[in-house]
């Protein structure tokens, strides 16, 4: 015999992740990547991906992982400028 079960209504759990552009651009300048092409080479993605991330805010987890990995290769330099190459430093979750 089936039992009635109560399931609470689903709440909105959507969130947006955005690139912290000021921090991102500051880190790339410190490293010496000042153009979109240099930033693409630094992160290991193509220029279209850089354009979508920087101009449209469209990126995925692969871009996020590649960016953090690229910046971590320059941890000492970034930390000497008071910057930390972490996910939280580069990206922001907005509920």
What are the pLDDT digits (tens) for 60-89?
999 999 999 999 999 999 999 999 999 999
Closest to 87 measured CA to CA, from 71, 76, 79: 71
Q: Is residue 49 part of a domain?
A: yes
Average pLDDT over residues 14-43: 96
pTM for the full predicted model? 0.82
Q: Is residue 11 part of a domain?
A: no
Q: Supply the range of the domain harboring residue 29.
A: 22-94
Q: Is residue 5 part of a domain?
A: no
Closest to 68 measured CA to CA, from 82, 42, 87: 87
Residue 9 contacts by C-beta under 8 Å, 6 or more apart in sequence?
none
The percentage of the chain sitting over the pLDDT mark of 70, rounded to a whole number, equals 96
Q: Is residue 58 part of a domain?
A: yes
Q: Is residue 36 part of a domain?
A: yes
Number of separate domains in the chain:
1
């Amino acid at each position: 015999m089936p039992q009635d079960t109560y399931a609470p209504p689903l709440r909105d759990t959507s969130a947006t992740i955005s690139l912290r552009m000021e921090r991102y651009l500051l880190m790339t300048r410190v490293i010496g990547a000042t153009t979109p092409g240099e930033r693409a080479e630094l992160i290991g993605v193509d220029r279209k991906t850089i354009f979508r991330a920087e101009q449209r805010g469209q990126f995925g987890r692969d871009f996020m992982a590649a960016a953090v990995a690229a910046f971590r290769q320059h941890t000492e330099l970034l930390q000497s400028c008071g910057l930390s190459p972490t996910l939280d430093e580069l990206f922001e979750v907005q509920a």
